[in-house]
Homo-oligomer: A and B are copies of this chain.
Amino acid sequence: MKNNKPKYNQIIEAAVKVIAANGYHGSQVSKIAKAAGVADGTIYLYFKNKEDVLVSVFEEKMGQFIEKIAESTSKKQNAEEKLRTLIEMHFSQLSADYDLAIVTQLELRQSNYALRLQINKVLKPYLKEIDSIVKEGMEEKLFRSDLNVRLVRQMIFGTLDEIVTNWVMKEQKYDLISQVPEVHALLTGALSSAR
C-alpha cells in the first residue's frame, strides 16, 4: 500500500511534521504541500479536502498505534498483563514519536466538531480493546464482577490520555515510560477483586 501510493504517504508524513512544528492553525494546505514536495493541487488528488488530510493522519497513525497495542496484548495471558502491556505500549509509542504525540494530544483537538467525531470513530477499536480486557479480567475473576465496563473504559482511557497530555505540555521534561508500573498499580487497584 505504501509503495502503491507514495505521494499519499508523503503527504501524511509531511502533515504530521508541519502540524507538530506549526500547530493546527499554522498548518495551511500550501505548507503541507511544500513539505511533502508536491503542488497544492496535488493534495486534492489524494484527499477530498483539508479535513480529510487531518482525518487520514489520525487514521493512519492511530491505526498503527492501535494495531501494535492489540498485537502486543494478544500475546499476554491474562487481563492484568494485557492492561500493563496496553499502558506500556500507549506510553512507549508516544514517547518514541514526539511529533505524533503533539499532533494527537494537542493539535488535532483544536479541530472542529465534525473532525472530532471522525477521530472518535478511529478510536473506537482502541476503546473496544480496553473493553475486552476489562471483560476478560472480570471473567478471570481478576477484576471485580460488578464493574461498569463503560465507566472503567472511560477511567482507563481518560487517565492515560490526561497523563500523556500533561507530559506533552510539560515538554517531556520527565520520562513517561517509567510511570507505567505506578499507573498500572493504580488502575488494577481500582478494578481488583482482591480486598
Known: A189-B191, A190-B186, A190-B190. A163 touches B169 (CB 8 A): no
A23, A152, A166, A183, most chain B CB atoms within 10 A: A166
A155-B156 Cα distance, complex, nearest whole Å: 8
Let me know if A162 and B169 touch, CB within 8 A: no
Q: Which of B113, B183, B189 contacts A189 (CB 8 A)?
A: B189
Let me know if A109 and B109 touch, CB within 8 A: yes
**Residue A2 is within 8 A (CB to CB) of chain B in the complex:** no
Q: Which of B183, B190, B195 contacts A187 (CB 8 A)?
A: B190
On chain A, the number of residues with a Cβ less than 8 Å from chain B's Cβ atoms is 38
Residues 154-175 (chain A) with a chain B CB within 8 angstroms? 154-155, 157-163, 166, 169
Known: A161-B162, A169-B120, A195-B195. A155 touches B186 (CB 8 A): yes
Known: A113-B106, A186-B190, A195-B194. A151 touches B163 (CB 8 A): yes
**Residue A3 is within 8 A (CB to CB) of chain B in the complex:** no
**Residue A111 is within 8 A (CB to CB) of chain B in the complex:** yes
A24-B25 Cα distance, complex, nearest whole Å: 14
Known: A111-B110, A113-B23. A154 touches B163 (CB 8 A): yes
Known: A106-B113, A112-B110, A187-B190. A162 touches B152 (CB 8 A): no
Residues of B within 8 A of A192 (CB): 189
Let me know if A112 and B25 touch, CB within 8 A: yes
A23-B190 Cα distance, complex, nearest whole Å: 36
Binding site for B on A (CB under 8 A): 23-25, 106, 109-113, 116, 120, 144, 147-148, 151-152, 154-155, 157-163, 166, 169, 179, 182-183, 186-187, 189-192, 194-195
